[in-house]
Every structure is written in C-alpha cells, then in structure tokens.
Amino acid sequence: MKVLVTGGAGFIGSHTVVDLIENGITPIIVDDFRNSEKFVLKQLEKLCGTKIVSYNIDCCNYEQMEAIFSSEKPDGVIHFAADKSVNESVENPLKYYQNNIGSLVTLLRLIEKHPVKSFVFSSSCTVYGNPDSVPVTELSPIKKAFSPYGFSKQVCEQCLVDFHNSNPKNSIILLRYFNPIGAHPSSLIGELPIGVPNNLIPFITQTAAGVREKVVVFGASYNTNDGTCVRDYIHVCDLAKSHVLALNYALKNPNNIDTFNVGTGKGDSVLEVIKSFEKINSLTLNYEIGPKRAGDAPVVYADNSYIKKKLNWSPKYSLEDALLHSWNWQQTL
C-alpha cells in the first residue's frame, strides 16, 4: 500500500511515517517545510533504514498535487499539513482559513478524480471547546470554537461529512487528537517548535534546558483537584499507531465515514505534569503560578472506548514515558 502523507516532516506526521514503514506501508511525504525542518527526512531515513520519497510542495497547490497523484498513484492519503497555533490564528485568521480549509478542499477534489480508497484527517479535541461533561465521547456536542484554528478544524470536519454524503466512494476517518507529547524513544525525531512554544511540554523541556527562564502555569484556581487545568496527554508514538489502524479499518470498511477520539482516557493537571517531569528526569523545574490564559477549558480528556473497540487501539506509553522521551529529545537539540 502507498500512502501520501501531507505534513509528513512535522511532529505527528514524522512519527506516523515510521509506523507506516514498520507496517510495510510506503509513505510519500508532501511537506513545504514552513513549520518543519528538512533534516527530519534524513533522521527518518536513518531510523527506518530506507530511502523515503518526499516532495517540497504546498498541498494547497492543486496543479502540483495533481502531478503527484498522477505519478505516485497513492492508495490512501493521511492529511496532517495544517497551521496549528491558536494565538497566531487569532492574529491572522485568513491564513488559517486559507491553509487549513484550502488544503483539505484541494485534496478532496483530487481524491474525487483519482482511485484513492482511504483518507485519514487530523482533527483535534479542540472541536469540543469547553465540554459540558468529561470524558468527551465522539457524540459530545461540537461547541463554539475559541479560535479561528479551532473553527478551521470544525469546518474541515463538516466539509468531510458533506463530501462523503455527496460522493461515498472513499472511506474517510477523522481522528480527534487530544494533547500529543513525547518523542520517538530513539531520540532521532521529536517536536520542533518554531520560536517561543505555545504548548506546555516544549515550554517545560526548553526551560529545563535553560532556553527559557521559567514555566508559567496558566491559572491555579480552576475547579480541579489542584486548581490547574486538566488535559489528556497522549504519546506521539501511540497517536501515530492510530493512523495505521485507521487505514486498515478504512480498507475493510469501504464507503464509510467514522470519527475517533485518540487520547489515553486519563486527565492530568499542569502541576501533575510538572511533578512527573521532575521525578522521571530527576531534575527541578523553575515554575510559577500565573494568570489564566484566555480560552483554556478547565478539564478535557477523552472517552477512548470507541477507538479501542473498533480499531483495537490502545496506548502503550505512560505520561512518564512521554516526559522522559521529550526530555531525551530536547537534549539532542
């Protein structure tokens, strides 16, 4: 099986490429490196012991993507390529609508024309907004988005449903990621945030490495055990695995559309993450409690029973494993 992986040099994309190759699937990477580094391709080849085909192309470009579909003839597509900064999306919403929605529409126009059997889309738990109850199931209501980034994911989800209703010849899987963290245990690939990270774990590892002065915990007066926000942190290798299972499920269930939460099912608070990071890596982190960040939901974690049942997926790594791997990776940078 040959699968086009847009955003294949990015954080989740690169880990998924490894899993595809380990499962005998040939990835074709399409990435324009706006938010990833070319050396990731070399690292992937080292890790996988094989050459990997890649194209430096913006996947919004219909003509260039058409040429790749015609020459490579992929059986499936995994679409990771998207902009993902919540803050940036508030400052520059059109970039998010153009790139995130535009790239999906381009790809759907192409899979309509070409014999592609399966399409896997990177969605996010952001579509649930601030949920009324936790854990969130796939049937929990889609809430008003906090940001253009979140709204772009909601629009993309609806776009896939409408596309499928009009043309059910492909099998489409939407994966709603919770908070991806960690790095490959080999420390050859991991997260490479550009500039000051928005997300908690890269901020923690950069602080431990002395790149940042301190971690500011965004609020400690939420209605949670220790007052800090609770999230579902999922190891990126476990998340990667869900894509291979989704592709196989899509092949066995043609003309189908389905949505899965990909999370551990366990919530951890910001302070629990900090304490676990300190313990597993035997170090002390400089942190302080600061004001709340606008738009943060107090508690979000997944009900993952549907993906466990349907895809036979379950997470293998613990929070501690992920925090160890994140720190090991940071030390290689």
Q: Which residues are catalytic?
A: 149
Query: Between 119 and 151, whose beta carbon lies closer to ligand UD1?
Result: 151
Asked if residue 323 binds ligand UD1 (CB under 6 A), the reply is no
Sign of CA dihedral 315, 278, 135, 261: negative
The span of 45-53, 167-175, 213-221, 311-319 binding ligand UD1 (CB under 6 A) equals 213-221
SS3 percent helix, strand, coil of the chain, rounded to 5, is: 40, 15, 40
Asked if residue 179 binds ligand UD1 (CB under 6 A), the reply is yes
DSSP sequence for 286-323: -EEEEPPPTT--SB--B--HHHHHHH-------HHHHH
Single-letter code of the amino acid located at 116: V
List the one residue from 15, 79, 84, 176 that touches ligand UD1 (CB under 6 A): 84
Q: Max CA-CA distance within the chain?
A: 56
Asked if residue 296 binds ligand UD1 (CB under 6 A), the reply is yes
Asked if residue 216 binds ligand UD1 (CB under 6 A), the reply is yes
For 164, residues 6+ apart whose C-beta sits below 8 A from its C-beta are 170, 172, 257
Q: Are 101 and 109 in contact (CB under 8 A)?
A: no
Of residues 96-115, those binding ligand UD1 (CB under 6 A)? none
Asked if residue 198 binds ligand UD1 (CB under 6 A), the reply is yes
Residue where the block lists tokens 């040939």: 26
Beta bridge partners of 174: 121, 259
Query: Between 55 and 146, whose beta carbon lies closer to ligand UD1?
Result: 146
d(CA 278, CA 95): 38
Closest distance of CB 7 from ligand UD1, Å: 13
d(CA 30, CA 283): 39
Query: Between 97 and 218, whose beta carbon lies closer to ligand UD1?
Result: 218
Query: Between 75 and 83, whose beta carbon lies closer to ligand UD1?
Result: 83
Query: Between 237 and 270, whose beta carbon lies closer to ligand UD1?
Result: 270
Query: Between 103 and 123, whose beta carbon lies closer to ligand UD1?
Result: 123
Asked if residue 215 binds ligand UD1 (CB under 6 A), the reply is yes
For ligand UD1, the nearest residue by Cβ is 229
Closest distance of CB 233 from ligand UD1, Å: 8
Q: Cα 290 to chain center, whole Å?
A: 27
Alpha helices in 182-318 (DSSP H): 200-208, 236-252, 270-280, 305-311
325's enclosing H/E stretch is helix 319-330
The span of 56-64, 70-78, 111-119, 216-224 binding ligand UD1 (CB under 6 A) equals 216-224
Closest distance of CB 3 from ligand UD1, Å: 22
Asked if residue 293 binds ligand UD1 (CB under 6 A), the reply is yes
The vertex-330 CA angle with 325 and 333, nearest 5°, equals 135
Question: Pattern of binders to ligand UD1 over 232-271, x per CB under 6 A?
Answer: --------------------------------------x-
d(CA 289, CA 287): 7
- CA neighbor of 13 nearest in space, from 82, 67, 61: 82
List the one residue from 135, 150, 190, 315 that touches ligand UD1 (CB under 6 A): 150
The span of 52-60, 166-174, 198-206, 258-266 binding ligand UD1 (CB under 6 A) equals 198-206
Query: Between 125 and 244, whose beta carbon lies closer to ligand UD1?
Result: 125
List residues binding ligand UD1 (CB under 6 A).
84, 86, 124, 126, 146-147, 149-150, 177, 179, 198-200, 203, 215-218, 229, 231, 270, 293, 295-296
